[in-house]
Chain A
């Protein structure tokens, strides 16, 4: 059964696009035909993060308006064989996203054999964000350990349980996962930052993953390579763990405690 998964947050800039790219890539690498749809109409960015910006011809709104067909708009990833990107429109406004239009695109993708349809939501709670979450079966609520992000995550979780297709049709509720990104164990240790437990207590959502704050993420975006392809870095490994958990594989949480560097390693590095 195909699954529609929205990556959402309410608050902007918390790592939705980074996470959509990483998790979508990870799912495709497991052999499942996957598409990542950019719902950020007017502020297309997923193409850059995935490194396919120069191959974009048509976009989601073209498909909704019947100006292009699905196959013309899908950009095939050059590294991962089962992965496709559906870019957002850079020129139209977000009201071009109609419920009927999105419903048809998702139905066509399912008919085309896609197993995972990842929806990269824009920030906010307006049309674009509501359309990204409306048809979701599961949601990955992306949260930074910071007050406004946690509050917005709670808000968007409320929307998932009241403003989604599943809620309106009284089907099984959207399955909500929590993904904590930009986590700094050292600052948590110093009690300067909300801990995983704090966020869990506040939001009460199943924890899918904890991605550490990492310089490698910026580097990956410079290169146009989803961070999960860099399996030498902590953030890449943490995303892989999250993907594994989505696939039902048990993984211990890593990179969540701070190890004080000893005197020697402080001098010699490492």
Chain B
């Protein structure tokens, strides 16, 4: 490698470790919340939707089931949100 080329070489970007840490923080937190999610959740969600749809004209996209299990809480929370379109 010539001397000129050596000096022209791109220096590695400083701070890529910071990006690595940020990305890991997000994915690790996400995977923890998934791990805490009971395995029956998707099936239960479908059944809840089916029950509601017996009485109301909604689509499965109008129902959101969120399970959260934060380490610093002493409770897990199951949230069921049903968006009801008006005039129905």
Using a CB–CB cutoff of 8 Å, the interface residues on chain A facing chain B are: 146-147, 150-151, 154-155, 158, 162, 188, 190-195, 198, 201-202
Contacts and interface: CB of A to CB of B under 8 A. Distances in A.
B14 A155 contact: no
Given A194-B24, A201-B25, 6 more contacts: A146-B20, A151-B24, A158-B32, A158-B35, A191-B14, A198-B17
A190 B14 contact: yes
A154 B20 contact: no
Chain B interface: which size bin?
Answer: 10 to 19
B23 interface: yes
B16 to A, nearest CB: 6
Contacts of B32: 154, 158
Given A190-B12, A190-B14, A202 B24 contact: yes
A115 to B, nearest CB: 34
Contacts, number: 45
Q: Is the interface of B mostly helix, strand, loop or mixed?
A: helix
Dominant SS among interface residues on chain A: helix
Interface string B16-37: 1110110111011001100100
A195 B35 contact: no
B15 A191 contact: yes
Contact of A194 (B17, B27, B28, B35): B17
A133 to B, nearest CB: 16
Contact of B20 (A147, A155, A201): A147
Which among B12, B23, B24, B32 has the highest number of chain A CB atoms within 10 Å?
B24
B34 to A, nearest CB: 10
